[in-house]
Amino acid sequence: MEHISTDEHSLGEVIDISSGKELQDVIAAFNTMSVYLRHSKDHLEENVQERTRELQTALDNVKTQRGMLPICASCKKIRNDDGYWSQIEVYVRDHSEAEFSHGLCPDCATKLYVKYFPEKE
């Protein structure tokens, strides 16, 4: 029992049941535990390998932008790899998990809606 319980490679082995009811019960319980632990260990290793594959696939699919982005100095559209120009919001959305909401910064609001934002003296 000690050999099986302390040696990982012996896990799953069983002991021949000897005479004596109490000893038979202990050995039977130990054998059940040994087989169960071997099965659990093997199953756990399979799960780790599967999760590792899933994480690697997810990592391979992560959209990451690196390098220089060709952007229009006037309208701020970005040229994609196919040579087409798209709004910066569309490009960022397609190359990341970001979503946009729109509003106006104070400078633009003042320029666009002059009557609502009179100049300060």
Instruction: Based on the fold, state whether residues 6 and 41 are members of the same structural domain.
Output: yes
What are the residue ranges in the chain where pLDDT is below 50? Answer: none
In a domain, 22, yes or no: yes
Q: How many domains are contained in the chain? A: 2
pTM: 0.39
3-state secondary structure of 31: helix
Domain carrying residue 107: 78-116
Q: What is the pLDDT of residues 21-51, one digit of tens each?
A: 888 888 888 888 888 888 888 899 899 999 9
d(CA 12, CA 37): 7
The chain-wide mean pLDDT, for the chain, equals: 84
- What does the pLDDT read at residue 63? 63
In a domain, 106, yes or no: yes
Residue 19 pairs with which residues in a beta bridge? none
